[in-house]
Structure 1
């Protein structure tokens, strides 16, 4: 017989039969069971009680437990000893388990199980058969020791199974990654260009910072970290820091989010008309020299133009004759336009000159009115008129 029998009606039990037995006695390495209707008792060796290694039979079964067993050997009685059946609980459990596990594997189901043991290289769980979780598949991060995992209940996915070789490989990491991917998709779907969000700086790189927005990371390029020029992101940000960011763009397919910190901050030109009103005297640093003048940084991120005609009372052909980059100078504000982010400055207005006409009006002259076409061509237009 190969199917479970109604043992009250059975007169003969053969090898391969599936029977029910009641545990009558538990010894150190064996469990003794009675089988209803059978002429003698059965024994279940400790190795056949569980798919896992157990030190004592009592670790796997107790007296009066009802067990489903398969007959692996029939030892007939003789003059020397009574008869007995050699039985296996492990093989019955495994046969049922493999069928269930195959369905779970094909359906990609998540399995919950208790960690029964921690061994070299990973974890062991009992799913009716011995399941092994390699150390690399336990978590999605490095774990130094798994000692405290014994007795924990974790969720798993089957990643490999071969019934013939009694091989079952499980992964808790796969469950975590699937959950993160699902959460990431939800978060991505709720983020739109222009949103202002809060996040945590996860990682710094030479080209910017990765900010966690609650399950998905976005990149703040180094150019979007601050209104001021920075060479090292670490000089402004640190890992774990909470920051406010503005979403510049979202690419759901590539799972890329571009962010800006500086777009959430007040720019250096904010309230510039109050900080640098017409007539104010400021101290700045020469940042750049060009043919038509010099750009002076008067506040971090705020540069104003000193037109070549406003550098000196003396005629100069190029700004390089009077100034050099990095030089600190005092300038007077001739004009300011916050909307256009333009600041017109003068150095010569602060220099003494006996022949200088008294300045009574600080309205911007045409040649100092920001970065106009006339600024760029400068004296070249005058020379062209003279020659023609």
Structure 2
């Protein structure tokens, strides 16, 4: 073969090896130069050049193009358009980002058909919902962000979570997603776990989720339990919002669990020292303290000496004079001075006397004082927690008092 024949053969072989470049083709491009925020590449097996602008390399508009590629790199690209035969700027517009997106769309379609979920990251809030990054742009309508209405969607920006694919149309770059069903499933699983493991008497931590006039709902990590207003504190609480706030971390004791009715009753005050625990400090035996008449009954008056602590002034301990009913000399809300006769913190009983602090008519002051100081008695208890003498009166003592008049 002559040199001329050889050169002609090599030329034909080279020409046959040159592939025509078409729009949509996936090609390999060797980076020849980085110029003016774009890559200049040589399309392999085509003998032509193309350009890849920064926006076609990455979705990050603030990225440094020099971090995306370097001269000599060979990267996979898709042909977007022909630019003519401009040697300075290249003959074709190429994209790496859109080729990667094409692969992502294919993967998402496969997951959609298989009923699988996606992991996405929230990029921004737009009218009607959230824009997320799923490798491609996705959208979550506001009604599908959570299992309840969300007033402010901004708190989700930057968060990553699992979603279900609702609608996909790669040709229109449309990807509609939902988090609502995922949240429902997660809560159902957590709820079942909590009901299976939670028992009355358990002490757990939670967070105040909602406040109402009748109590506070505490999030136990997937299900809410109720602390009734009467179980918030030993002190009187007018409104739960006076002492609690949404988002506050609290420790509670489980009172009851009813899985059939989805109810969990909780208590905060059960974990707090009660006023009866300090009764020896609040009302030591023999001390004189001020109290408020709370209730009047046929057998005596209940007097509050501290928040949550009431003691009984038996009718026989109200006055030295015989009285038919406590209403004859006392009224509800009245402030009175009482002497502590006995206390029983375990059974929350407190015996008080008003007459022990007053002088008996016709009795010298010193003698009255001695008599009053020794006016402490023990009586057998009845089933309701009060002594028999407290319930029916000390008839003998009343007769003796009457004979002294």
Deviation at 1:163, TM superposition (A): 1.4
CA distance in 2, matches of 1:333, 1:263: 26
CA distance in 2, matches of 1:251, 1:169: 39
Alignment partner of 2:107: what SS?
helix
Q: Tell me the residue number matched to 1:248.
A: 255
**Structure 1 pair 245–87 and aligned structure 2 pair: CA distance change class (3 A):** closer
**Structure 1 pair 263–24 and aligned structure 2 pair: CA distance change class (3 A):** same
CA contact (8 A) 1:28 1:56 kept: no
CA contact (8 A) 2:117 2:165 kept: no
Q: Tell me the residue number matched to 2:323.
A: 316
CA contact (8 A) 1:311 1:348 kept: yes
Out of 301, 307, 320, the position equivalent to 2:308 is: 301
Alignment partner of 1:269: what SS?
helix
CA contact (8 A) 2:119 2:160 kept: no
CA contact (8 A) 1:334 1:364 kept: no
CA distance in 2, matches of 1:311, 1:349: 8
**Structure 1 pair 376–29 and aligned structure 2 pair: CA distance change class (3 A):** same
Residue segments in structure 1 that go unaligned for 5+ positions in a row: 1-6, 78-82, 379-388
CA contact (8 A) 2:380 2:388 kept: no
**Structure 1 pair 99–298 and aligned structure 2 pair: CA distance change class (3 A):** same
Out of 104, 107, 118, the position equivalent to 2:116 is: 107
Q: Tell me the residue number matched to 1:23.
A: 31
**TM-score normalized by structure 2?**
0.63
Q: Tell me the residue number matched to 1:384.
A: none
Post-superposition Cα deviations, 1:248-280, rounded to whole Å, max 9, x if no partner, equal 234568775432222123333336478656655
**Structure 1 pair 84–251 and aligned structure 2 pair: CA distance change class (3 A):** same
Out of 350, 353, 360, the position equivalent to 1:353 is: 360
**TM-score normalized by structure 1?**
0.66
Deviation at 1:93, TM superposition (A): 2.9
Residue segments in structure 2 that go unaligned for 5+ positions in a row: 1-13, 394-405
CA distance in 2, matches of 1:262, 1:69: 67
CA distance in 2, matches of 1:37, 1:67: 14
Out of 363, 367, 370, the position equivalent to 2:377 is: 363
CA contact (8 A) 1:74 1:85 kept: yes
Out of 287, 290, 301, the position equivalent to 2:294 is: 287
2:276 is equivalent to residue 262 of structure 1: no
CA contact (8 A) 1:8 1:36 kept: no
Post-superposition Cα deviations, 1:184-208, rounded to whole Å, max 9, x if no partner, equal 8777766532123455656654333
Identify which range, 61-70 or 83-92, moves more after superposition: 83-92
Q: Tell me the residue number matched to 1:196.
A: 203
CA distance in 2, matches of 1:336, 1:119: 64
**Structure 1 pair 172–366 and aligned structure 2 pair: CA distance change class (3 A):** closer
2:337 is equivalent to residue 330 of structure 1: yes
CA contact (8 A) 1:110 1:175 kept: no
Post-superposition Cα deviations, 1:134-175, rounded to whole Å, max 9, x if no partner, equal 8999998957699xx8xx795664655321311235689999
**Structure 1 pair 214–300 and aligned structure 2 pair: CA distance change class (3 A):** same
Out of 74, 96, 100, the position equivalent to 1:66 is: 74
Alignment partner of 2:376: what SS?
coil
CA distance in 1, matches of 2:246, 2:98: 53
Deviation at 1:322, TM superposition (A): 0.6
**Structure 1 pair 190–8 and aligned structure 2 pair: CA distance change class (3 A):** farther
**Structure 1 pair 286–210 and aligned structure 2 pair: CA distance change class (3 A):** same
CA distance in 2, matches of 1:195, 1:252: 16
CA distance in 2, matches of 1:85, 1:235: 70
Post-superposition Cα deviations, 1:281-328, rounded to whole Å, max 9, x if no partner, equal 443211111233211112322212223343233343332221111112
CA distance in 1, matches of 2:310, 2:280: 14
Alignment partner of 1:270: what SS?
helix
CA RMSD for the aligned pairs?
Answer: 5.3
